[in-house]
Amino acid sequence: MRIISGQFKGRKLLPVNLKNTRPTTDFAREGLFNILRSRLDFDDMDILDLYSGTGAIALEFISRGCQSAVAVDNQVQSVKYIAKTKDLWGIENLEIIKSDVLKYLKKCHSKFDLIFADPPYESKDYSNIIDFVFEKELLKEDGFLVVEHDKRTKFESSVDFEFQRSFGNVNFSIFRQSN
């Protein structure tokens, strides 16, 4: 795994040996960021990365110039891994939180330009995540929620659903905060 673009372009993430993680492939991340780049200016954005795992999504946003990123994961190994990478790369605008994602969302009062959620594919949390994000208005005006999922999961009937894209076995559903 490597960072695709920006300040840390080409840097490889530390060798991954994390249980219960499914890192988003470089191919899928590159496809996602190509979609987002045409819709967003990464500068001055505040990002929330849920179920962070290796932190690759948050780190990619940091590399591309976002103002701040928050990485949330409930696995001690993932939190330590992201913290080690943050220290090695000298990153100051990345906050790492060890928490259950749903508990974090219930207590969250911040607003973000983009929220990325990558729960385990078998998770039953998908609808709760989407509901919390929109009911608690955690997105800034015109903010995006990106949910990574497998091909069996469908969100087309969700109110704020915009579109879905597939990159191999990885699927992203994009939601947008209505005005």
What pLDDT does 16 receive? Answer: 65
The model's pLDDT over 13-70, given as tens digits with 9 standing for 90+, comes to 875 666 666 667 778 888 899 999 988 889 989 999 999 999 999 999 999 999 999 9
Confidence of residue 103 (pLDDT cuts 50, 70, 90): very high
Q: What span, in angstroms and rounded, lies between the C-alpha atoms of 139 and 168? A: 28
Bigger pLDDT: 26 or 95? 95
Among all chains, which residue has been given the structure tokens 């990574």?
148
Per the listing, tokens 């060798």 go with 15
Fold of 43-152: Rossmann fold (3.40.50)
Tokens of 109: 């009062």
pLDDT score of 177: 80
pTM of the model: 0.92
Query: Which has more pLDDT, 39 or 95?
Result: 95
pLDDT digits (tens, 9 = 90+) for 140-175: 998 999 999 988 888 887 878 889 999 988 899 999
Q: What is the per-residue pLDDT for 21?
A: 67
The pLDDT of residue 20 is: 65
At residue 132, the pLDDT reads 92
DSSP string for 76-138: HHHHHHHHHHHHHHT--SEEEEES-HHHHHHH----EEEEEE---TT-S-HHHHHHHHHHTT-
The CA-atom distances, in angstroms, between 60 and each of 47, 102, 129 are: 11, 24, 22
Q: What angle do CA 61, 9, 53 make, to 5 degrees?
A: 50
